[in-house]
Chain A
Amino acid sequence: MASSKSAYSSAGKKQKLDTHIIVVWVDNEAGVLARVVGLFSGRGYNIESLAVAEVDQKQNISRITIVTTGTPQVVDQIKLQLKKLVPVHKVADFKREDKNVIFKEMALFKFVANNGKLNKAFEACKNFNPVILDKTNKSNVIQITALRREIDSMSKNLKKFGLVSVSRTGAVAMTRGSEIFK
């Protein structure tokens, strides 16, 4: 009984993990991202993706969108711990399954191939708002916006059309309808 030799209790049962999107409005000041990210790493929470930028230049407010997984208890803790940080104004939390919320990620794909393949690549992207940002006679760069898993499968499937480089953002989120999160 190795665990009984510890001064600590042994870990409890493993619970089911849900994916949540946490949106945090913070003062855009030095070190604020480190505070938020440090809280996640320090307390052992997951970060699957992260997107951050200033959204209100006048009041210096940045919006951080974090995709995380955790048990309901852990997700509650994440929210409560975030709210305790001094530069944090408000925290919103959405389940990934939530139909009232839009989640989007953007990806840039670079293809190096002949014209035929490049056209096929663009064709394959057509469900995800593709925009050609750069084009030469043997390469192009396509921007798409889609869900995380869609981008996952795209980056796998497009290899055959000469996909050589992928750059993608973390997810950003917004509620549907006229409601805004207070």
Chain B
Amino acid sequence: MEKTINQRVPTPLTKRNSLKRYIWKKRWLYLMCIPGLVYLILFHYVPMYGIMMAFQNFSFKKGIFGSPFNNFANFQELFGSQIFYRVLRNSLFLSITRLIFSFPVPIILALLINEIRSKVYKRMAQTLMYLPHFLSWVVLGGIVVNMLSMTDGLVNDLIAASGGQKINFLGSVDWFRTVIIGSHIWKEAGWGTIIYLSALTAINPEYYEAAKVDGANRFQQTLYITLPGISGTIVIMLILAIGGLMNNGFEQIFLFKNNLNQSVAEVFETYVYQVGIAGGRYSYSTAVGLFKNVVGAVLVFSSNLIAQKLGQPSFYS
């Protein structure tokens, strides 16, 4: 069929024919799309179709096409259960406190790095503070757990040596969020400075010259030139962080969660794993995951929309 199109060059151009000819002309470009398309459908859209399980009483033997639908029974159970509200509260409370405490750190660090004139000092400091970003959560979590442990932990040894009471950092409800947020800052705050540092380089140096002539000191320069200069970046990073409030990161939480701190440590990701994969309640846990994903998608989508309204050039298209 394609051959005939190629040979019959001067045929009257019906719409159909010209489309076929177009596709034939661009055939290599379309062929290139095939591997990505197969991946996209199989590993992204098939699982989205699998969300149907949330509305079924899914059983393995019958499969997704044979399992009986029970409509919203899973969601009724979900919204009627105490655990759901605890998980929701834990997830949001943890991510919001993390946002409050960890969001300003890279901004402050970037402002301070910007004040350092010595290139060598700057590069050495950056090399050290970017490193944790590239280490796995298992490694960083393993270091934290071993440093804070009651038996071998360096921190508790120090506390004991100075005459204090050992603290059960890992097995206590009170310390869980501190450990999570602290280790998060350790891993990501240094790396997070990069985006602000690149925003800082975009500020016109003439502003500073002018300010100096007008007698502004360094602190005033920071307040009136530097901060306004990166405020756009700050706002956009904040909006994007708000878009991710439903995510707490399985890999980190799962390491620190144990029987003693479970009442504050159980978040959506770990709960879905616990009930679904470990507990085998597939339909119910799919419903939990769907709730999380829908709320998360609404947050991400609206925060992106706001970011674009504020003049962030569209990242897509």
A-B complex is real: no
* Residues in chain A within 8 A of chain B (CB atoms): none
